[in-house]
Structure 1
Amino acid sequence: MLLLLIQEPFIFFSFHPIFSIRFIKNTECKNHTDFPEFLLLGLADDPELQSLLFIVLLSMYLVTILGNLLIVLTIISDTQLHTPMYFFLSNLSFTDICLSTTTIPKMLMNIQAQNQSITYTGCLTQIYFVLVFASFENFVLAVMAYDRYAAICHPLTYTVIMNSHFCGLLILFSLFISIVNSLLHSLMVLQLIFCTNLEIPLFFCDVVQLIKLACSDTLINNILIYFATSVFAGIPMCGIIFSYTKIVSSVLRMPSAGGKHKAFFTCGSHLSVVSLFYGTGLGVYISSALTNSSRNTAVASMMYTVIPQMLNPFIYSLRNRDMKGALRKLISRTPSLL
């Protein structure tokens, strides 16, 4: 269903009189009603490299979908995993599935068809969903950090603090904020006028790269991006740092070495996922700032939108004893169910 949405116009992308054809004097610019598509330059132009890239991306996509889907099914099927930590983990896995499905299938289709184009409405819709799920994953990671803080720093009142009603509200609020933020960016992009250069140096539509192609005033769009990044990425990151500062402080006061080891072990998987998510995001920023190579920018963006989503299931399943036990039980029950 999500793949179909990527290809079809979204309801708020319908044309309106305020987006009617406009021209700027002495420029070769035109608005989106004058051209049908953008070009996604991707990672490679060589046909042989394209074939190899198709196999690699398809393999990574299948591993991402199957791994995260297995995590979700395992958590749902095992009642011992019906706790706040695994509830948030299932939401993280679901988000990883959606984020990967928003970007990778379109690139696979373009490679297979040897066609780099994407329609205007398809590009805007892809931008919308990438922003929704990337922002939502950011919030989920912050919520998971708060959950670990409550479990380690307030163990006696943990079940009271992280009750099912509160956990549900945290997820719904995070999703609501992500949707509003993405909708605002998408509506602002609708007002831009684009120049004749319609090449996006990535394998998916990115709002920052799309704004760079505009020949109309993008001041408001850039201000919105900086503001949204500061608020919707900065606040969750600060929450994660605050939570782990309190966790480390609490753990160091524990008299038992075994208790310290157990506390740090319960946070190890989440810390690995957080480091991977923000580390690759920082890599994208540094790459775009220090290099003008579209190839390097595309590789960096793939590291951010593909690699973390593929590795997250392995990080949690390999480092978590409860998850490994639940996975074994699920796999052992599968032949009988079939």
Structure 2
Amino acid sequence: MVISSPHRHVGITVRGVMVRVAAALAPGILVYLWIFGPGVLIQCVLAMATAVATEALILRWRGRPIRTALGDGSVIVTGLLLALCLSPLTPWWVTLMATVFAVALGKHAFGGLGQNLFNPAMAGFVFVLLCFPAPMNKWPAVPAAGAPAPGLMNSLGVIFVPKAEAVDAVSGASALNHMKSRLGLMEMVSEIRSDPVYGNFGGRGWEWIAMAWLAGGVALLVLGVIRWHIPAAFIAGMTCVSGITWLMNADVYAAPVFHLATPGAMLGAFFIATDPVTAATSDRGRLAYGVLIGILAGLLRIWGIYPDGIAFAVLIGNACAPVIDRYTQPRVLGVAG
């Protein structure tokens, strides 16, 4: 609903929002780096550099001002979020292809910043997940599993000169991958959770990253960068689905706290689903949008073929956002004379 002028500027620019989002991601990146080694930092630098280069080339081809567009920092945050969704051991060419797809097709195919229907980072992630599933499932082994975090040279070697034996020496499975594969072998959740790759709530190490994303998300709420509706509804939707299945059969389905204590859940709830361009805009719409994504993410985790379905859930939610807005926008009671 558009109101008449004058309008008051709230004092925060696109660049300001992006700086705050990047700062809120910093604690999670540091914890990630501490637990799993420098691979995550390499992925972040690679994805951000590729995103900036792709953006500049497309802007030049379209005849748009490059300095202004790059100055808002939005494409850097896109690359950063995409890198944090990828494994630290992802080969460089997969990261490059995901980032180019995210910026070129996920963003500029729809007209650029503010006009894209789908979250660019999730579009790029799903593209490489569907096209290259094998390298996307190589995750660093947690320290408790007997393998120390790979060092800088090992990480560079695995990412840029990937050899099967080198990758296998430092790789393992994420908590979600491990849980889904073991459940497929008809093992019970209680037996699976006794494995040393698990911590008190989720995967060992991963739960600390999830807590760091949660802290960053709370900071965004306090700073007024995001509203509470989507994260709260997302968490409620995922908790509802995982809670119902867990109550039905705790031997087959993991508890809600396990699902919430994964980095993907907190990153998705606070940093990805809240993208203002692709999310619903009214308060009621944000609640419906968040619940939809949370429920879909929970269902896809439990019964989908991939260990985590948050990226797919976000893209489906993006597609539904215009319809949600259509039915949740406040009713216009009159028009100006």
- Asked if these proteins are the same fold (TM beyond 0.5), I'd say no
Please give the TM-score of this superposition, normalised by the length of structure 1.
0.33
Task: Point out the structure with the larger helix share.
Answer: 1
Higher relative contact order (CA 8 A, sep 6+): 1
Q: TM-score, normalised by structure 2?
A: 0.33
